[in-house]
């Protein structure tokens, strides 16, 4: 599956961090991880910590799928607001989901410190804003739900937001947020795990899996086999290629990175931003003075159709939302 266009910022910035060999022999392990992105790296880290014998394979060079194109905004919020999730799933399930997402950011920082990754991790406050009055009531309900259940949030009105340079009606400021270089971290984590015993093979594509005497036998397209007790698929969007049921509808999303400014606008020093629109827009700054933005989701996964929309999406996302909604160029 062609899951991204062009060469993303993180890949150009870091180049090819490390290359691994392709599989050239039959092997065996307790667990096989399919997919060498951020998810596969974190799963590998957990299993290696538990003393498991693990093999990881990826059809590309590791970390060269979606992990290379991430905007790397770390937020505890999921796609369903807390108050709506409480209505759908109950207080215990909903609140624990948000709490675990918040905890994950802190746990990630611990791993970064442990492996000494220079992935430019920074804690940031998150601004969830509305540019229209019609969403103020929604934000008020969400703010109250988070406040009641112990999340550190602050209500921001139009005047407060204008001090940041943001033209919006209202917003929730959350204490728990962060940014990082996902591509660099995933590569650093895989390198760390490989030094602890993880066997990594890139340019190695899974062809088929069959079960024999309670053992999973994974065959690669190059004709080699891996015998294992467990296979863990960390293939992100490409999981639809192995799922037997149609349980998800993929979308195409768009992200861009600006040129580097001589001085990053002060509004990006301590905050990351996303809004209540459908589809929502999100943006943040980088240490080297760039602005990364994303959004404009479309309900299709066709790569040619996606790529054909790049010029249109660039014009739509950048001028209207970055220049008009956020007056970054007059803040300094």
311 or 181: whose pLDDT is higher? Answer: 181
Q: Which residue has the tokens 């899996």?
A: 209
Indicate the pTM of the whole model.
Answer: 0.86
220 or 13: whose pLDDT is higher? Answer: 220
Percent of the chain, pLDDT > 90? 61
Q: Which of 84, 74, 174, 86 is nearest to 129 (CA)?
A: 174
Using CA atoms, how far apart are residues 87 and 94, in angstroms rounded to an integer?
9
C-alpha to C-alpha distances, 91 to 146, 216, 224, nearest whole angstrom: 11, 39, 49
Per-residue pLDDT, 11: 67
The dihedrals phi and psi of 239, each to the nearest 5 degrees, come to: -60, -25
Domains recognised in the chain with CATH numbers: 9-69+183-241 (3.50.50.60), 121-180+251-330 (3.30.9.10)
Per-residue pLDDT, 327: 42
Using CA atoms, how far apart are residues 22 and 129, in angstroms rounded to an integer?
46
pLDDT bracket for residue 306 (50, 70, 90): low
312 or 189: whose pLDDT is higher? Answer: 189
Question: Would the pLDDT of 287 be above 60?
Answer: yes
Which 3 state secondary structure label does DSSP give 261? coil
| Contact yes or no for 178/122 (Cβ under 8 A) | yes
Q: Treating both helix axes as pointing N-terminal to C-terminal, what angle do 82-89 and 91-115 enclose, rounded to 10 degrees?
A: 130
Q: What is the pLDDT of residues 178-223, one digit of tens each?
A: 999 999 999 999 999 999 999 999 999 999 999 999 999 999 999 9
What is the residue-averaged pLDDT of the chain? 87
Provide the sign of the torsion angle of the four alpha carbons 150, 276, 73, 290, taken in this order: negative
CB under 8 A, 24+ apart: contacts of 83-88: 83/141, 83/142, 83/144, 83/145, 86/145
Beta strands 73-75 and 170-174 are unpaired
Q: What are the tokens at 132?
A: 């229209």
Q: What is the pLDDT of residues 14-65, one digit of tens each?
A: 766 678 999 999 999 999 999 999 999 999 999 999 999 999 999 999 998 8
| Contact yes or no for 6/313 (Cβ under 8 A) | no
Per-residue pLDDT, 301: 61
């Amino acid at each position: 599956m062609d899951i991204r266009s062009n060469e993303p910022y993180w890949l150009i910035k870091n180049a090819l961090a490390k290359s691994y060999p392709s599989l050239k022999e039959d092997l065996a392990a307790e667990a096989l991880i399919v997919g060498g992105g951020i998810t596969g790296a974190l799963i590998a880290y957990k299993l290696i910590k538990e003393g498991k014998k693990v093999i990881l394979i990826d059809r590309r060079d590791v970390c060269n799928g979606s992990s290379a194109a991430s905007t790397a905004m770390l937020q505890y919020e999921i796609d369903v607001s807390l108050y709506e999730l409480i209505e759908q799933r109950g207080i215990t399930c909903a609140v624990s989901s948000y709490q675990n997402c918040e905890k994950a950011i802190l746990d990630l920082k611990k791993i970064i410190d442990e492996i000494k990754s220079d992935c430019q991790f920074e804690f940031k406050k998150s601004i969830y804003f509305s540019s229209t009055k019609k969403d103020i009531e929604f934000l008020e309900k969400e703010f109250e739900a988070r406040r009641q259940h112990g999340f550190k949030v602050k209500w921001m009105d139009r005047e407060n937001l204008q001090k940041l340079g943001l033209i919006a009606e209202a917003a929730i400021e959350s204490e728990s947020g962060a940014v990082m270089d996902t591509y660099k971290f995933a590569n650093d984590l895989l390198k760390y795990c490989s030094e602890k015993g993880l066997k990594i093979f890139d340019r190695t594509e899974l062809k088929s899996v069959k079960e024999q005497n309670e053992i999973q036998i994974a065959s690669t397209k190059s004709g080699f086999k891996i015998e294992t007790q467990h296979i863990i698929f960390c293939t992100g969007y490409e999981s639809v290629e192995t799922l037997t049921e149609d349980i998800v509808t993929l979308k195409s999303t768009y992200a861009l990175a600006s040129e580097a400014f001589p001085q990053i606008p002060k509004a990006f020093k301590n905050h990351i931003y996303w809004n209540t629109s459908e589809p929502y827009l999100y943006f943040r700054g980088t240490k080297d003075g760039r602005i990364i933005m994303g959004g404009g989701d479309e309900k299709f996964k066709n790569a040619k159709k996606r790529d054909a929309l790049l010029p249109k999406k660039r014009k739509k996302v950048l001028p209207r939302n970055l220049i008009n909604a956020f007056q970054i160029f007059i803040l300094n």
